[in-house]
Chains A and B, each alone.
Chain A
Amino acid sequence: MTRVWGRVLRYVVLLAVLVITVGPFLWQLSTSLKGRTEDIYTFPPRLLPRHPTLGNYKGVADIVPVWSYALNSLTVAVANVVTNLVGASLAGYALARLRFRGRGAATLAFVLALLVPLESIVIAQLTLMRQLGLNNTLIAVVLPGCVGAMNVLLMRDAFGHLPYETEEAAVIDGAGVWQRFARISLPSVKGTLAVVAVFSFMGSWDDFLWPLIVLSDSSKFTLTVGLNYLHGTFSSNQRLVAAGTVIAVAPLVVMFACLQRYFFRGVAEGSVKG
């Protein structure tokens, strides 16, 4: 009997968490489908639209060039994923496996970098980009986040947890550092690579302040910045804002759905069983 109740309780708690996490998103989805004649702010809230329409999505495209913004965002996000995967795994491997003078200090520098908030260095970054002649370009949007300190530490941790024995065996077989990195270690940390990919994709896709500050030409805006135009100064149509949000979130959902198999495997993997 108690086992049944335990199971019921478990499902109730899971359902509650589901409602809390998925609820707001469903609400946005429902608002974005509501017709012009419907009240949005009803109490109690109504989840199913009475006059469902896709017109709001068209409305978003009329106000902002949403596809070109999405392309900008995608460019930035993909570049960010690639640079983070390459940079963080190289740096992480070096910190975990290579012996060199100042390794501890280098690790500490990455930890300290985590503590610096973007807001306090944004002006310095802007002046730097200006001196490099890069402000108002997408490269400037990618550059400051291209190798995240957090990702380097994640990769260092993942490499550090691999058993030494496999690499020692590879050394005996005559493998160099590059071969050990590329053939032995890298395939063993796919889970962490997926985590880094998802985090850097999300981070750059959601980033708002830095692209806003470094870009001045609105044709170069990324999606999050561009969609902010939907909050009109004099009137704000919540249906359009909701439609914009759904457009902005959709790629993240797709990205996660594709990578979740690796994502949950996480850092718990190893190359040697038992």
Chain B
Amino acid sequence: MPISRGTRSHKAVGAALPLFLAAAALTACGGNADGGSSADGKVAGDISFQTWNLRANYKDYFNGLIARFEKEYPDTKVRWIDQPADHYADKLSADAAGGTLPDVVNVSPDLAYPLAKAGVLVNLDKEPASTKYKDEYTPEAWQANEMPGLNGGYAFPWYLNTGPLFYNRALFAQAGLDPDKPPRTYDELFADANTMARHSGGRVATLAATPAIEDFGRYGVRLMNADATEFTYNEPRGVELLTRYKQLYDNGALDAQALTNGPEESGQKFLEQKVAMNPGSAHDLSNFKENAPTLYKNLGIADAPNNTGHPNMYVMGLGINNGSRHKPAAIAFAYFVTDRQNQESVAHKVAIFPSTRGSLDEPYWTKDDGTDEGRVRVAAAKILKGAVNYTPVVMSDEMKTVLQNQVALALQGRKSPKQALDDAVARGDELLKQG
């Protein structure tokens, strides 16, 4: 049916995702039986290595990396596959179900969870060949890949990412706010946002997006119970945050399209200079420079506020396929890519951060070299000490959408914040039980 296939509806795919995962879970049980090789043994054989959308800019880096690995272990051969940005989760689950998952795969914790649960990924805490490397990574990074209820880490920590809150100095000045004094706490943030809305008559919003799960986490809301079986973000703290966002929305301090904006749309609003603040990543600087040179001249950088003392971070990892025929080689290669030297070298190329212990104490991440990039890099590296990945790994995209929709209803005033969060939690718990 070429006609229906031609429409690329993200919604339809999102709805079909649970189906994929169910299928993945089913076949993986069978897949385990034919099983892969033992993890101990000689590092040899042909393995495949899959990254997520890194080919365009880092082709030479990875080819060099693979060449060095093959030189160190002459009996191995690594085939590098890079997947495009969209539908990566679908590709992973289809491959897991079809038995075509590469030996080493690039996953974030939320992508790793369904795979780990289906038994497709190696539990690195169970294999002596991989546990011996555990101490080389920061404990927070290793923990980020530990799956609740599955006793162990399922991916070698790779690069980390966090970022400051970027703000538009020109818009701050226009609203009579001091561009040198960005908000540092939630109270200041909400106060400045309301001032901005008043001064611009609602034309300039301060924030472009509704609060997502990591925002609740940063605000100090307990997101889940200890064994990750139930959501708890409807506690009074969570209701308080949503109530404050409701005030912002009513005052015009949130972008008019905030209810449907995703991270990409919010970023775009910030580039259009219609929104004064946006949380970003260290590597966004190049994006600003490239796509909005005028904004770049007026760019201010502030720490994103949090009530917990722990900023938020995002983690990428490398998982090992349980069905791999050359597990020792796959583990050796995943470790090779994520070891201290190689992580630091890739982090010198793009503004991401190594997850290996001690790396962030290097002068590159502690000494400000006077450039904007240097300033953001050092600030972000500082944030990363003690940063945690707030997003619960069991929270699927569908559960995130449930929260987003309920938040939207609350902001529109069609439900009280308390009711909206109660409903989101109830639906989220239901989905958790099905999963």
Contacts and interface: CB of A to CB of B under 8 A. Distances in A.
Interface of A: 36-43, 63-64, 80, 84, 113-114, 116-120, 122-123, 126-127, 130, 135, 145, 148-151, 199-200, 202-204, 206-210, 212-213, 216-218, 221, 225-226, 228-238
Dominant secondary structure at the B interface: helix
B290 A118 contact: no
Contacts of A39: 291-295
Given A120-B16, A217-B81, A234 B57 contact: yes
Interface string B88-125: 00110011011110100000000000000000000000
Contact of B272 (A41, A118, A217): A41
Interface string B192-211: 00000000000000000000
A149 B19 CA distance: 24
B225 interface: no
A231 B100 CA distance: 25
Given A199-B3, A228-B84, A228-B85, A208 B8 contact: yes
Nearest to A128: B98
A101 to B, nearest CB: 26
Given A39-B292, A212-B91, A150 B3 contact: yes
B352 interface: yes
A202 B94 contact: no
B76 interface: no
Nearest to A129: B98
A231 B3 CA distance: 26
B273 A204 contact: no
Contacts of A123: 20, 23-24, 94, 97-98
A40 B350 contact: no
Interface of B: 1-6, 8, 12-13, 15-16, 19-20, 23-24, 52-57, 81-87, 90-91, 94-95, 97-100, 102, 268, 271-274, 281, 283-284, 286-287, 290-295, 350-352
Contacts of B350: 234
16 contacts: A41-B273, A114-B1, A126-B94, A202-B2, A209-B13, A209-B87, A210-B5, A212-B83, A212-B91, A213-B95, A216-B81, A218-B81, A221-B84, A229-B84, A231-B84, A234-B286
Given A118-B5, A236-B287, 9 more contacts: A39-B294, A127-B98, A203-B1, A212-B87, A228-B84, A229-B56, A232-B53, A235-B283, A237-B291
B56 A207 contact: no
A235 B290 contact: yes
Contact of A206 (B8, B16, B24): B8
Nearest to A205: B6
B35 to A, nearest CB: 18
B291 A40 contact: yes
Contacts of A149: 1
A129 to B, nearest CB: 8
Q: Which of A118, A148, A233 has the most CB of B within 10 A?
A: A233
Closest 9 CB pairs of A and B: A203-B2, A119-B16, A228-B84, A41-B272, A234-B283, A203-B6, A126-B98, A41-B271, A231-B85
